[in-house]
Amino acid sequence: MAFDVPDFATLMALESHGPDVYVGISPEYPWGRVYGGQVVAQGLRAAQATVDAEHRVHSLHAYFIRGGTSDEPIRYEVDRIRNGRSFTTRRVVARQSDGAILNLACSFQVDEAQADVQASTLPDDVGEPGSGTVEDWDLLGRRMVHHSRGRASTWLRVLEDLGDDPTMQACALAYASDDIPTNAAASTHPRIGEVRDDSVTTYGDVFIGASLDHAIWFHRPVPPDQWLLHDLRSHGLANARGLAVGEVFAPSGLHVATVAQEILIRERTR
């Protein structure tokens, strides 16, 4: 059964199913499984529903346990680990009938008037916001700027006006953040050229791949409804795993977030 998910707001409109339990639905994706960024974003949304508005997410860490299916809803169970004056911590487990598909931990902090120093800078080779090769899909606008060995840079944004709600903007960044780490990490594999140079061969013909774990650090509030540059670089491959780490910038050059993801990239042997 395919669910009707016309926009991002619908995707984030979780239903309450008892104390600290929420249920979300998924659109159908071309590759069959549920998009990991969706589950991270919905898990964050579920956690936000149990946190006071003055506490904003500053970090999340997630493990993808198994691929989800779009044929059934996803149940998000929130555990209120700690409520503090400055920091609040939550754990969220996403489940379907086959079992858990995601384990997420996230932390929220009140705004503090402390030093604000930015050491990272927006790369000067990424063009204007929203420029690049158009590769939109479903709810996500994608403008590919670089896809070279060891690096993937893309302007990303949810394709709708979300207003100035900081919780929705954080969820939109989380949704987009799972899109290109695989490109960056996989680009350093010695056989990746086999896919790029052969118009018939596909990534799935050569590799078995999946997102394994994912982390986001939210440094500053996400500007409403703007293209954000996700600039990811590979940190190498080992034991069928690859690591990509990168930064997310607003068009103004503001360093909004840092993203890290470990992927599975295993060569097919049969």
pLDDT in tens, 223-269: 888 999 999 999 999 999 999 999 999 999 999 999 999 999 888 88
- The highest-confidence range among 2-11, 207-216, 249-258, by mean pLDDT, is 249-258
On whether residue 241 sits in a domain, the answer given is yes
On whether residue 55 sits in a domain, the answer given is yes
**Other CB atoms within 10 Å distance of the CB of residue 264:** 17
Q: Assess whether 62 and 188 both reside in one domain.
A: no
On whether residue 163 sits in a domain, the answer given is yes
| Domain count of the fold of the chain | 2
Q: What is the mean pLDDT of the chain?
A: 92
pTM of the model: 0.94
Instruction: Tell me the backbone φ, ψ of residue 159, rounded to 5 degrees.
Output: -85, 55
Instruction: Tell me the backbone φ, ψ of residue 192, rounded to 5 degrees.
Output: -65, -30
Look at phi and psi of residue 127 and say left if phi exceeds 0, alpha if psi is from -120 to 50, else beta. left
Q: Assess whether 102 and 172 both reside in one domain.
A: no
- Integer CA distances (angstroms), 155 to 121, 172, 250, in order: 15, 13, 10
Q: Assess whether 100 and 154 both reside in one domain.
A: no
pLDDT in tens, 39-92: 999 999 999 999 998 999 999 999 999 999 999 999 999 999 999 999 999 999
Mean per-residue pLDDT, 140-155: 92
Confidence of residue 199 (pLDDT cuts 50, 70, 90): low
